[in-house]
Amino acid sequence: MSIEDKQRLQRNDRVTIRTVAKHAGVSVAAVSKVMRNAYGVSEGLRAKVTDAIEELGYRPSRAARGLRGRSFTIGVLLIDIRNPFLPEVIAGVNGVLAPSHYQAMIGVSDARVQLETSLIESMIDYKMDGLILVAPRLPSEIIAKLASEIPIVAVGYHDAGATAFDTVNADDQRGAEIAVEALLACGYRDIEMLSLGEREGHQVSVVRQREIGFRRAMQRAGLGSSASISKIPIAPPKREETMRKFLSRKNRPRAVFCWSDLDAITLLSLAMEMGVRVPEDLAVIGYDNSSTAALGLVNLASIDQSGRELGQVATRTLITRIEGRTSAEHIFQIPSLVSRGSLIRSSNAKGA
C-alpha cells in the first residue's frame, strides 16, 4: 500500500472506486467490470482488483450506485421459508453473486397476492437492480407489469409465453413421469398422488405441472382411470389431519407420489406413528431431493431438480437481463430420481 493510501486511511477519508483503481494499477472501468462480474474479465485482473478492495476496505456507496442507475443489489422473494428445498436455491444464488459484488436481499411472503406485491414494490423502491421470484403466486400479467419497472426472473413458474420476464424451471411434468415410471418398474400399479388443494396456485405452478405429468404417465401405462390425486390443505392442523385420513383409508394405495418432500417427510413421520410400514405397506417418492430426505432415518426416494443449480442459472439469467438483454428466456432443466429406502425394489414388491 502506498504512503498516500495509508495516510488516507489514517485520516478516515472515504475510499472510492478511483482509489481502488489507482491502488490496483488499473482503470476505473476495469474495477467496475470486476464488480459487475462482467464477461471477459481475466483472473489476473480480478485478483488485482479484489486484493485492492480487500486491502483498502472499499465499500461502495449504495446511494451513489443508485444514482448511477446500479445498486448491485438483487432481491430474492420466497413464499414459504419452511420448504427444505429453498436453502439450496439461495445457496445457488449466493454462489454466483459472491464474486460479482452483487448482494442478495431476501424477502419472505406467505403466498398472499397483496403481501407478495407489496414486497416486490418495496424492493423496486429500494432501487434493487433485479428480482428473483421463487414460486410466485402472482398472475402472469401482474409479474409482467412489475417487470416493466425492474428485470425479473421467476423460478418455479411455468409461463413459457411470458415476454416481459424470464423463467427458470425444472421440467416438473417430466419429473412426475419419472416418479411414476420408477414405481411401475418396481411392480406397483396402485399408485396415487398427494398434491395441494385447488386454491393453492394455478396452471403455471409446479404443483399443477406435476399433476399433469402424473396423469400422463399413468395414462400411458393404461392406468388413466385410476390416476387418483388427493389434495392436501397447506395449513396445519388440517394438513396433518388429511394425511392421517389418507393413511387410515381401507382403500389406501400401495404407492404414493408426493408433490414435495415437504409433505412426503411429514407423511413418513405419520406413517411410523400409525404403524404403516414404509416401504412394505406403502412406497413413497417425494420431490426436491432435499437434504432432509437423504438423512438415514428418513431415507426418502425423491425427484432431484437441483435447487442449487436452479438458483445459479436464475442468477446468471437475471444478470444478463440487468446488463441489457431484452428477449425473454425460458430455461428447463431435466430432473432425475434419487432412489432410497422408501421405494421398494421390484424383487420384493409383493401384492402391488
Strand partners for 105: 75
DSSP string computed for 257-289: EES-HHHHHHHHHHHHHHT--TTTT-EEEEES-
The DSSP secondary-structure symbol of 200 reads: S
Residue with grid cell 383409508, as numbered in its chain: 249
Give the Cα-Cα-Cα angle 286, 317, 100 (nearest 5 degrees).
Answer: 110
Residue 230 has pLDDT above 90, yes or no: yes
272 to each of 190, 247, 269, how far by Cα in Å?
Answer: 21, 10, 5
Reference 123, options 132, 135, 136; nearest CA is 132
Q: Comparing 132 with 57, which gets the higher pLDDT? A: 132
Asked whether the beta carbons of 127 and 151 are under 8 A apart, the reply is: no
Number of Cβ within a 10 Å radius of residue 274: 11
User: Can you name the CATH fold of 172-305+337-348?
Assistant: Rossmann fold (3.40.50)
pLDDT, tens digit, for every residue of 235-251?
888 999 999 999 999 99
pLDDT-derived band of residue 30, with 50, 70 and 90 as boundaries? confident
Determine the Cα–Cα distance for residues 117 and 107; give it in Å rounded to an integer: 11
Determine the Cα–Cα distance for residues 316 and 308; give it in Å rounded to an integer: 13
pLDDT, tens digit, for every residue of 116-155?
888 888 888 888 999 999 988 888 999 999 999 999 999 9
Number of Cβ within a 10 Å radius of residue 192: 23
Q: 245 is written with which cell numbers? A: 385420513
Please state which architecture CATH assigns to domain 3-59: Orthogonal Bundle (1.10)
pLDDT, tens digit, for every residue of 278-328?
999 999 999 999 999 999 999 999 999 999 999 999 999 999 999 899 999
Strand partners for 284: 256
What average pLDDT does the chain have?
A: 87
Residue 69 has pLDDT above 60, yes or no: no
Query: CATH for 67-170+307-333?
Result: 3.40.50.2300
Reference 218, options 252, 192, 198, 194; nearest CA is 192
Give percent of the chain above pLDDT 90: 60
pLDDT-derived band of residue 63, with 50, 70 and 90 as boundaries? very low
Q: What pLDDT is stored for residue 58 in this prediction?
A: 80
Give the residue extent of every domain in the chain: 3-59, 67-170+307-333, 172-305+337-348
Q: What pLDDT is stored for residue 112 in this prediction?
A: 67
Reference 132, options 98, 156, 101; nearest CA is 156
- Asked if 3-59 and 172-305+337-348 have one fold, the answer is no
Q: Per-residue pLDDT averaged across 196-225, rounded?
A: 87
Residue 110 has pLDDT above 80, yes or no: no
The secondary element (H helix, E strand) that includes residue 168 is: strand 166-170
Its pTM stands at 0.78
Q: What pLDDT is stored for residue 1 in this prediction?
A: 55
